[in-house]
């Protein structure tokens, strides 16, 4: 019987993971008995637990005593998904380091102290990011490529990967870090993030709304559906860490696709009329940012460990349509 703690339980992936764990009551072949959702704010909706007891806590991971209180319940699996996002970490240097680095270190330290006191040794799943990579990059990035982040967010994620590996090697906990692809189709409204268009050029036309494409259709990037990303996070909790050989951070598999591939997948599902809702208007600032991003990975280590990507961009769109069928049935 497994007690899972989700730090970042109110976010897109945290609430998706909570819904999955509550619905299935399973993590691999183990039964989930208890689920604690932690975030700086309470989640918008708390999943019906059925056999799973679901609790909610709020607080600030930058406060060591807050994290110590979470660890005091000795959860068997800790999913650490909480972070200040890249734009905010770039705008507010101190806040980014305080939450993304010091918050994570507070968690790792609280677990280390618990380990030293009673041998506590949880699995910790940490979500890292492609932002740990920075240009110049080869067209296909392998598992041995250096991390040279070009953002404070990417730096903080790369540092936490190193800490996770060291604390695990020392035996304080059993950690695994997973670098998630860009999530597509991200639910919600269009936003100002440079990556936003990858989702909005699909999500908006699928809802009959216009969208703007700010880059050339030849731009290539690395994607996973929210459903695949939640699957990666859940699978990471069950991987036999002896197979990691102390290299505990893994690039997740994904779908390498161009914007043109996205558009053709949209056309196949929703026809020319949907594609015509995309207005092409180059934004040199977005072009410049995107030009430094990874295009594709050879994510061999993760594949060998059973992490499974979406099958195609068409499958990413189908997952979106299925997962949001309920939304569409509700009048706006």
Taking CB under 8 A as the criterion, which residues in 29-48 touch a second copy? Answer: none
Q: Does 162 bind a second copy (CB under 8 A)?
A: yes
Q: How many Å apart are CA 255 and CA 259, to the nearest integer? A: 12
The binder of a second copy chosen from 48, 60, 216, 246 (CB under 8 A): 246
Active site residue 153: yes
Nearer to a second copy, 160 or 201 (CB): 160
The interface mask with a second copy, positions 97-126, x = CB under 8 A, is ------------------------------
Which value, to the nearest 10 degrees, does the dihedral of the CA atoms of residues 78, 242, 116, 68 take? Answer: -10
Q: Does 166 bind a second copy (CB under 8 A)?
A: yes
Q: What is the DSSP track for 182-225?
A: EETTPPSS--S-TTHHHHHHHHHHHTT--EEE-S-TT-EEEEE-
Least Å from the CB of residue 44 to a second copy: 33
Cβ-proximal residues to 75 (8 Å cutoff; 6+ apart), any chain? 3, 4, 5, 34, 36, 122
Q: Does 178 bind a second copy (CB under 8 A)?
A: no
Q: Does 147 bind a second copy (CB under 8 A)?
A: yes
Tell me whether strands 26-27 and 30-39 are parallel, antiparallel or unpaired. antiparallel
Nearer to a second copy, 68 or 143 (CB): 143
Which value, to the nearest 10 degrees, does the dihedral of the CA atoms of residues 170, 171, 172, 175 take? Answer: 100
Nearer to a second copy, 137 or 275 (CB): 137
Q: Does 158 bind a second copy (CB under 8 A)?
A: yes
What is the residue whose two structure tokens read 């330290």? 109
Contacts with a second copy by CB under 8 A lie at: 93, 134, 143-150, 152, 155, 158-159, 162-163, 165-166, 169-170, 246-247
- Active-site residues: which are they? 153
């Amino acid at each position: 019987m497994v007690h899972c703690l989700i730090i970042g339980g109110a976010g897109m992936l945290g609430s998706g993971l909570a819904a999955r764990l509550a619905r299935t009551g399973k993590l691999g072949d183990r039964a989930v008995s208890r689920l604690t959702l932690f975030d700086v704010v309470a989640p918008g909706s708390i999943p019906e637990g059925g056999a799973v007891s679901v609790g909610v806590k709020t607080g600030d991971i930058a406060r060591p005593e807050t994290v110590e209180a979470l660890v005091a319940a000795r959860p068997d699996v800790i999913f650490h998904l909480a972070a200040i996002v890249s734009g905010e970490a770039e705008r507010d240097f101190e806040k980014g380091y305080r939450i993304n680095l010091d918050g994570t270190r507070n968690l790792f330290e609280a677990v280390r102290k618990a380990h030293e006191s009673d041998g506590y040794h949880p699995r910790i799943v940490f979500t890292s990011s492609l932002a740990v990579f920075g240009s110049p990059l080869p067209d296909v990035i392998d598992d041995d490529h250096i991390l040279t982040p070009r953002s404070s967010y990417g730096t903080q994620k790369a540092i936490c990967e190193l800490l996770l590996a060291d604390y695990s090697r020392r035996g304080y906990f059993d950690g695994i870090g997973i670098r998630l692809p860009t999530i597509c189709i991200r639910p919600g409204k269009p936003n100002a993030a440079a990556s936003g268009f990858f989702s909005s050029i699909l999500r908006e036309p699928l809802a009959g709304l216009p969208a703007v494409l700010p880059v050339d259709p030849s731009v290539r990037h690395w994607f996973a559906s929210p459903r695949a990303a939640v699957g990666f996070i859940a699978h990471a909790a069950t991987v036999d860490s002896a197979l990691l050989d102390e290299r505990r951070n893994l690039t997740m598999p994904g779908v390498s696709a161009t914007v043109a591939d996205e558009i053709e997948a949209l056309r196949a599902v929703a026809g020319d009329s949907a594609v015509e809702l995309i207005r092409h208007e180059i934004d040199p600032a977005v072009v410049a940012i995107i030009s430094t991003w990874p295009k594709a990975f050879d994510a061999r280590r993760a594949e060998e460990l059973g992490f499974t990507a979406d099958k195609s961009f068409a499958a990413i769109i189908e997952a979106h349509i299925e997962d949001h069928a309920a939304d569409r049935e509700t009048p706006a």
